[in-house]
Amino acid sequence: MKPRIPGQAAQARHGWWKASQWLALRRAAQVVFLGLFLTGPLIGVWITKGTLASSLTLSILPLTDPLFALQSLLAHHSLEGKVLLGAGLVLAVYALIGGRMFCSWVCPVNLVTDGAAWMRARLNLPEGVTFSRSSRMWILGAVLAVSALTGTVAWEFVNPVTILHRGLVFGALYGAGLAWVLVAALFLFDLAVSSRGWCGHLCPVGAFYGLIGRKSLLRVSAIGRQTCDDCLDCYKACPEPQVISPALKGATRGLGPLILSGDCTNCGRCIDVCPERVFEFSPRWMDRKSKDVSSQTTRDGTTQAAA
Amino acid sequence: MVEPSSPLETSRRDFLAATARTACAAGFFGTALGLWIGQARALPATALRPPGALAEDDFLGTCARCGLCVQDCPYKTLKLAEPGSGPTLGTPYFEARKIPCEMCSDIPCVAACPTGALDKSLKDISKSKMGVAVLVGHETCLNFLGLRCDICHRDCPLMGTAITLERSHNLRTGKHAMFIPTVHTEACTGCGKCEKSCPLEEAAIKVLPPKLALGVLGSHYRLGWEEKKKKGSALIEGTIDLPDRGYSPGEPVPPAPERNSQGGFKEFRP
Ligand code: SF4
Ligand code: SF4
Ligand code: SF4
Ligand code: SF4
Ligand code: SF4
């Protein structure tokens, strides 16, 4: 049997753009964010210097990975003001827009793990080893503890995010170095060992950004949930499908249509693939409770009765 | 074993068991990470840190591995450690024999560092301590062989202070001088220019991280002559000074051997 690929039904009904717009925008964003760092080394036009760990844009805007800063401070090192300011800015922005937007819109590893998921769906591979979704929290805890105990920034000794980003900016990935092996290993892990294994279950960077964004103002809302016909495309497309149920199926339990979990990466893929156009981005304060969903107007203008 | 009385209790037990499993796995992971860090902190002898770098442990805990220093080095001296390249992953370093530090007077690498891993209190590059040059090839250095190579000396940005040529007698020929390149560790910045320019196939002078290059006296060591200078008199009063055999204080010192017009010694017969 041919696997049902999420997005195909939406594309058949609403056309390519409607079924791919957030994915396309996200890929564009990932390319732009990489490009900011790469124009300098490649063509000598410096926009952003440094890497995701710490950078300087247009010689004025300093940004720093707050997880690095936290580890360093826990390890009893004092950092200069510039780097603390940079970490504060990053914290503030992601706290507003959703921490894991870093994952789906910026982090280069997402391209690798999304690639593995894409291939997985087409090869119809079994789930493989499943880790608990809370594993990443434990790993994050362990990383912070090891930082404090060893007096160094522990995660930077293995962090695939910065290995990949450095490899792209400083060129290790253009030769035949070990950096390639690590990226390939990550891809194969997600493809053959565990579905969405790395970004969905293990990566402590994702866990950290998830924590930052728990109260973010930008959310995805299953605003049209009463039209859901249970095709499950959103669950299949979502890198964190556990976040969907409370919003999509929570009406009977009195839950609002807003996806509230910090695990949601605000990738917007559910919006794309839903043939019924159930989802959309929404500010947090628009969390209408189930009672007022009962007489909502759907996109095609008809008024639906509550299910 | 007591049977669980209700499905609720089963799920509670499952939950606790799963949590315990994950906690153990996290503990295992943390231990493995800690062990790996112990391994991966070693700095190879050929790797030198940029100017102003904090002491290695502080440096590793402060440096973000961002590469800003690398991108602002005009001579492409600095690079970030890649997986498998030796120094701690992602940290900036340079290798003297490949591209030495040119000792920029405005120290752009330090200015670029956002974290303080490169210490901004370093204002004068000639005060930096990236490493220390050591003449290791006593059997291969051309000057030790009695020739006049002198390249390391002439290429040193601090020629005459960080490295000098010390004259000594050439025992092989018996009549020539040797000019021994001699590094003065308090002045040497470890820029690596000397190692880079040594014409031998393998440099006879090598710049090592300071920790490898320098001996350190035990903290309880006291140098008698220094202490005597500080005190201004003998450290132990009233000791008997026995006369030195074959020499008594009042006697004249024998005259220095006479030289001929070519500068050689008169009584020397080859
Ligand atoms: S989970 Fe980790 S590796 Fe994956 S996208 Fe987020 S930060 Fe990057
Ligand atoms: S002092 Fe100049 S040459 Fe030396 S590492 Fe810094 S920027 Fe590079
Ligand atoms: S600029 Fe500073 S923090 Fe960044 S890599 Fe260099 S030494 Fe490390
Ligand atoms: S490393 Fe060599 S060239 Fe540089 S200051 Fe020291 S002796 Fe001179
Ligand atoms: S450059 Fe090399 S061979 Fe020449 S004097 Fe210096 S150490 Fe000796």
Is it the case that residue A159 has pLDDT exceeding 80? yes
State whether residue B74 sits within 8 Å of chain A by CB.
no
Which residue in A133, A162, A150 sits closest to B30, CA to CA? A150
Contacts of B62 in chain A (CB under 8 A): 72, 77-79
- Is there a contact between B43 and B88 (Cβ–Cβ < 8 Å)? yes
- Closest to A80 (Cβ–Cβ): which among B29, B36, B114? B114
- Note whether A51 contacts B34, CB cutoff 8 Å: no
Query: How many whole angstroms separate alpha carbon A80 and alpha carbon B113?
Result: 9
> What residue owns the CA closest to ligand 3's atom 6?
B69
High-pLDDT (> 90) share of chain B, %: 59
Ligand 5 pocket, residue B151 CB under 6 Å: yes
pLDDT score at B7? 61
Question: How do residues A113-151 score in pLDDT, each as one tens digit?
Answer: 999 999 988 888 888 888 888 889 999 999 999 999 999
Interchain contact, A142 vs B115, CB within 8 Å? no
A167 → chain B, closest CA residue? B82
User: Pocket residues for ligand 4 (CB within 6 Å)?
Assistant: B 133, 156, 158, 162-163, 183, 188-194, 207
Stated pTM of the model: 0.83
Asked if B155 contacts B197 with a C-beta cutoff of 8 angstroms, the reply is yes
| pLDDT value at B177 more than 50 | yes
Over range B51-61, report the average pLDDT: 93
Q: Residue A298 in contact with residue A268, Cβ under 8 Å?
A: no
Q: Taking CB atoms and an 8 Å cutoff, what residues of chain A touch B61? A: 72, 75-77, 151-153
Q: Judge: A83–B116 Cβ closer than 8 Å, yes or no.
A: yes
Q: State the Cα–Cα distance between residues A106 and B61, nearest whole angstrom.
A: 25
- In angstroms, the CA B130 to CA B210 distance is 7
Give pLDDT, residue A31: 94
For range A210-230, the mean pLDDT: 89
Contacts of A258 (CB under 8 A, 6+ apart): A219, A220, A221, A222, A247, A282, A284, A286, A287
Which whole number is the average pLDDT over B62-76?
95
Least confident of A261-270, A292-301, B75-84: A292-301
Q: In terms of Cα–Cα distance, which of B79, B134, B77 is closest to B103?
A: B77
User: For residue B148, what pLDDT is reported?
Assistant: 92
A49 at interface of B, judged by CB pairs closer than 8 A: yes
C-alpha distance from residue B151 to each of A37, A125, B187, B201, B207 (Å): 41, 65, 18, 14, 15
Residue B83, CA distances (Å) to A123, A145, A175, B66, B90 in order: 32, 24, 12, 15, 8
Tens of pLDDT, residues B127-167: 999 999 999 999 999 999 999 999 999 999 999 999 999 99
Task: List, edge to edge, every strand of the sheet that includes A54-57.
Answer: A48-51, A54-57, A61-64
Is the pLDDT score of A71 beyond 60?
Answer: yes
pLDDT at A1: 60
Q: Where are the alpha helices (DSSP H) in A66-214?
A: 66-74, 81-97, 101, 109-123, 135-150, 160-170, 178-188, 197, 204-212
**High-pLDDT (> 90) share of chain A, %:** 46
pLDDT category at A299 given cuts 50, 70, 90 is: very low
More confident residue, B112 or A249: B112
**Measured between CB atoms, does B70 come within 8 Å of chain A?**
yes
Q: Could you give the angle at the alpha carbon of B48 between the alpha carbons of A158 and B197, nearest 5°?
A: 140
From chain A residues 83-112, the ones with a CB under 8 A of any chain B CB are 83, 86
Question: Does the pLDDT value for residue B170 go beyond 50?
Answer: yes
Q: What is the pLDDT of residue A80?
A: 87
Please check the confidence at residue A289 and state whether its pLDDT lies above 70.
no
**Tens of pLDDT, residues B188-231:** 999 999 999 999 999 999 999 998 988 889 999 988 889 889 98
| Of the listed ranges A51-65, A287-301, B12-26, B54-68, the one predicted with least confidence | A287-301
Range in A28-32, A64-68, A153-157, B11-15 the model is least confident about = B11-15
Of B36, B82, B112, the CB nearest to A178: B82
Q: Ligand 5 in contact with B147 (CB < 6 A)?
A: no
Instruction: Write down the pLDDT at residue B249.
Output: 65
Residues facing B178 on adjacent strands: B168
* Distance, CA of B188 to chain centre: 9
User: Which residues make Cβ contacts (< 8 Å) with residue B192, sequence separation at least 6?
Assistant: B48, B94, B95, B96, B97, B100, B101, B130, B131, B133, B207
| Residue contacts between A and B (CB atoms, under 8 Å) | 145
Measured between beta carbons, which residues in chain B are less than 8 angstroms from residue A65?
A: 64
Helices (H), chain A: 8-43, 66-74, 81-97, 101, 109-123, 135-150, 160-170, 178-188, 197, 204-212, 233-237, 244-249, 269-273, 290-293
End-to-end CA separation in angstroms for chain B:
102
Contact A183/B at CB under 8 A:
no
Give the pLDDT score at B134.
96
Mutate: best of B82, B118, B120, partner A, most A CBs <10 A = B82
Cβ-based burial of B99 (10 A; exposed 0-12, middle 13-18, buried ≥19)? middle
Which neighbouring-strand residues pair with B206?
B134
Q: What is the pLDDT of residue B22?
A: 84
Q: pLDDT digit string (tens) for A4-59? A: 888 888 888 888 898 899 999 999 999 999 999 999 988 889 999 999 999 999 99
Contact B22 A134 (CB under 8 A): yes
pLDDT bucket at B88, cuts 50 / 70 / 90: very high
ipTM here? 0.85
Helix (H) or strand (E) holding B152: helix B151-155
Phi-psi region of A58 (alpha: psi -120 to 50; beta: other; left: phi over 0): left
Q: Which of A12, A1, A2 is nearest to A273 (CA)?
A: A12
How confident is residue A303, by pLDDT bands cut at 50, 70 and 90? very low
Interface test with chain A among B54, B66, B118, by most A beta carbons within 10 Å: B66
B268 pLDDT tier (thresholds 50, 70, 90): low
The pLDDT, as a whole number, for residue B68 is 95
Nearest to B121 by CA among A172, A80, A245: A80
Distance CA A40, CA A34 (A): 11
Measure the CA–CA gap between A203 and A115, rounded to whole angstroms.
17
Mutation site, B33, B41, B79, B93, interface A, largest A CB count within 10 A:
B33
Q: pLDDT at position A295, please?
A: 43
**Is B89 within 8 Å of A86 when comparing Cβ atoms?**
no
Are the Cβ atoms of B33 and A163 closer than 8 angstroms?
no
